[in-house]
A and B are shown apart, each in its own frame.
Chain A
Amino acid sequence: MAANFDTLTAAQIAAGIAAGDFTAREVTQASLDAIAAREDAVQAFLQVSPELALATADRIDTDRAAGKPLPPLAGVPLAIKDNMNLVGTRTTCASRMLGNYESVYTATCVQRMLDAGCVPVGKANMDEFAFGSSTESSAFHPTNNPWDTDRIPGGSSGGSAAAVAAGEVPLALGSDTGGSIRQPAALCGVVGLKPTYGAVSRYGVVAFGSSLDQVGPFGRTVEDVALAMNALVGAGRDPYDGTSQDCAVDFCEHLNDSIEGRRVGIIPAFMEAEGLTPEVRAAVEGAAKQLEAQGAQLVEVDLPHLDAAIAAYYVIGPAEAFSNLARFDGIRYGYQEPDCPNLDTQSSLSRAHGFGAEAKRRQLLGAYLLSSGVYDKYYYAAQKARTLITADYAAAYEKCDVILMPSSPRTAWKHGEISDPTQMYLSDLYTISINIAGNGGVSVPLGLGAESHLPVAALVGPAFKDRTLLMFARALERGFADAATGAPALTVAPDFAGKGGELA
């Protein structure tokens, strides 16, 4: 069988290896070949780890030959956002500050994917320390959107989303502090889930906003994302992360359940928001109709305090980022400025020359917001806004099971098109409030926009029920699938599909 591995889902790869249709080494080599053929154009990775990947694959093949039971994702190639530690790789956070940092331990989320049989093929590009919505703030190189390489892939987990959209891997891990999984998933036309805060351990993931950060998976199908969630939460809460919650459930169990009689919330103000492009609005309205056609009931809900969400986020996020990034002093790890006369100068110059512009901007904003006199004015007000936004969502979920809204107000923009940082912040309109409330959200591709012919997506944001969320995501995927083949609305971006990666 000479198929390209990019036509296979993670579920099909694992099943094919278990059945002996192909070996884990063959799949891994196909993924590495695809990366070699496609990476010049997409630049999704900061480090490819062929030796680690092939050694992992060989262990799986050996286990199979010995008749040992294989884990559920055995032999599935995985890309890992470069803010997650994995022994044997660097963890750079796309920053010169950590350009040479070798992981000294492995993050729980990564270890759980490896325990489930995934093969780590490399570390994916991102905005520096996850500060951004375009992956342009990576200190090393930008990443290109596989649907149009003149455009950004979104961010901050842009490398993870692009690697999946370009067919280099079927699964990737990202992290989401204000939309960093859902927005790049939307712009690259893949499925991306930000689970409920605390569902997935953050131990070993470089912290940005400690009350906001959450790890989650990217895939080309909802089922693959559900399988990844099983791997991430199946072992229960992580004793190494105090925020980790015990929420082990089988995410595949109700995936294909009917949504008949369930209620989908629509927020009228969101559908009229300034900056929402007509094609995205039309696509989300189409998604609502599709869910209605499957028997769901549409109900209007209101989130009256949402006007404060972006402002509250840009108080809480930078304040927490400043606290977290204070550890980068150039002593125990990270860039160290040579030949400094004293420690104070060494710290200031190491941080000045190690961090890029956006990382400095966010930290200075955080430092200002936490300074005497300012802290009381902004920080408390932002945390009170969080109380009200959280209560808004709780009240909305009394009336509906999920809320349907765009993932991003527009499709992918051109590199350099948004250069004003505060304008970039406004692109997070639809994703940010879910992090503030700690809820989950998923971005599901709906096809290509009528005008831009670039991927558009909807986000369904529920209340602490990620399994229900994926059930609705699957309903959307089913509704927009190809009638003849059942394939999702979007698969591998056409300019990349089939390039390298033949399965022998």
Chain B
Amino acid sequence: MALTQTDVRGIADYARIALEGDELEQMTAYLNDAVDMLAPVLDYDLPDVEPTFHPIGDLANVMREDEELAGRGLPLDVALSNAGSVRDRSFRVPSILGEGGDR
């Protein structure tokens, strides 16, 4: 079943990408085209085939000792240097809840 503009608005909301102007219409058309293109993969949902999530099969997460490594951490000013808004030692963000604005 084709995706509707309501569906796509929900996807965009989930993806945290605001759609403006005629983007909703364009993205709906694109997503329906793209999903059609993906149809051949549906034939591969075979019960006797195990999925391969990664080319390196036995990959395990890498954990190192919990110790401070000299030179690995970014200095505070460098860590903050690319942020759009900072205050003192922190990244600065607007209110998380509601329409409260900056406090």
What residues make up the interface of A, taking CB atoms closer than 8 Å to B? Answer: 100-102, 104-105, 197-198, 211, 239, 242-243, 245, 305, 307-308, 310-312, 314-315, 322, 326, 329-336, 340-352, 355, 360-361, 363-368, 371, 377-378, 380-388, 390, 420-422, 425, 437-438
Quote the shortest CB–CB distance from A51 to chain B (angstroms): 19
B34–A365 CB distance below 8 A:
yes
Report the interface size class on chain B: 35 or more
A422–B37 CB distance below 8 A:
yes
Question: Which B residues lie within 8 Å of A387 (CB)?
Answer: 49-52
Question: Which B residues lie within 8 Å of A383 (CB)?
Answer: 51-53
Interface centre among A100, A335, A351, A368 (most CB of B within 10 A): A368
Question: Which B residues lie within 8 Å of A312 (CB)?
Answer: 41, 44
Quote the shortest CB–CB distance from B36 to chain A (angstroms): 8
Contact of B51 among A332, A345, A384, A438 (CB under 8 A): A384
Contact of A349 among B18, B23, B45, B49 (CB under 8 A): B18
A105–B16 CB distance below 8 A:
no
The proximity string for B residues 7-23 relative to A, scoring 1 for CB distances below 8 Å and 0 otherwise, is 01001111111111001
Contact of B33 among A371, A388, A422 (CB under 8 A): A422
Question: Which B residues lie within 8 Å of A367 (CB)?
Answer: 11-12, 14-15
Q: Given the interface contacts A384-B49, A386-B52, A390-B52, does A341 sit within 8 Å of B42 by beta carbon? A: no
Contact of B31 among A245, A343, A365 (CB under 8 A): A365
The proximity string for B residues 37-58 relative to A, scoring 1 for CB distances below 8 Å and 0 otherwise, is 1111111111001111111100
What residues make up the interface of B, taking CB atoms closer than 8 Å to A? Answer: 3, 8, 11-20, 23, 27, 30-31, 33-35, 37-46, 49-56, 59, 61-62, 64, 74, 78-79, 81-85, 91, 93-101
Interface centre among B30, B31, B33 (most CB of A within 10 A): B30
29 contacts between A and B (CB under 8 A): A104-B74, A239-B62, A243-B59, A245-B56, A308-B41, A314-B37, A332-B82, A332-B83, A342-B95, A343-B94, A345-B94, A350-B84, A352-B19, A364-B11, A364-B27, A364-B31, A367-B14, A378-B42, A380-B45, A381-B45, A383-B51, A383-B53, A421-B33, A421-B34, A422-B30, A422-B37, A425-B37, A437-B55, A438-B55
